[in-house]
Amino acid sequence: MIFYVVLIVIFVAIDQVIKVVVRNNLTPYDYIELIPNFIHLTYQENQGISFSLLADLPDNIRSPLLSGVSLIVIIGLSVYIIKQWKSLSTGEKWGFTLILSGAIGNLIDRAFRGQVTDYMFFHFYDTGFFVNNFADDLISIGFVLIIWQSFRKKKDNHGR
């Protein structure tokens, strides 16, 4: 378990360093092409959650609400992981490690800055999709790993 805790610390540190570099070196809405017609580096602050949901809530409600919910989810997930640790597959352990790392990285932003720094703009030519960050990617990859592992376990349990 120590290995995974160390990974969480490393991933959270990487996330925070990238966000500091972006904030210190880009101005809002700059666009630097990383992969033509697919990914641009940019700088945006998201006061809400995914796709800026809840961003319009007043600061005195939004910040404590989002930080509080994030903290409760992180604590609940941590308790679940600790209780289930021995029965989790390696893939599930990696998935939960990535999810917790991303959730903690974004919680740090919300709790201390009131908003989350996003910087990767995904698009296809002129069609924009979303702007996210390393923490969001960790959460997404972790979620996919957990789902994939659940299908593998189901398949293994049915003897196929």
- Maximum Cα–Cα distance across the chain: 55
97: three-class secondary structure by DSSP: helix
Residue 19 exposed, middle or buried by CB count within 10 Å (0-12, 13-18, 19+): buried
The active-site residue out of 30, 118, 126, 156 is 118
Query: Is 118 noted as a catalytic residue in this protein?
Result: yes
Phi, psi of 84 (to 5 degrees): -100, 0
Q: Which residue has the tokens 């979303």?
A: 130
CA distances from 16 to 64, 105, 106, 160 (A): 20, 7, 9, 43
Residue 61 exposed, middle or buried by CB count within 10 Å (0-12, 13-18, 19+): exposed
Catalytically active residues are 118, 136
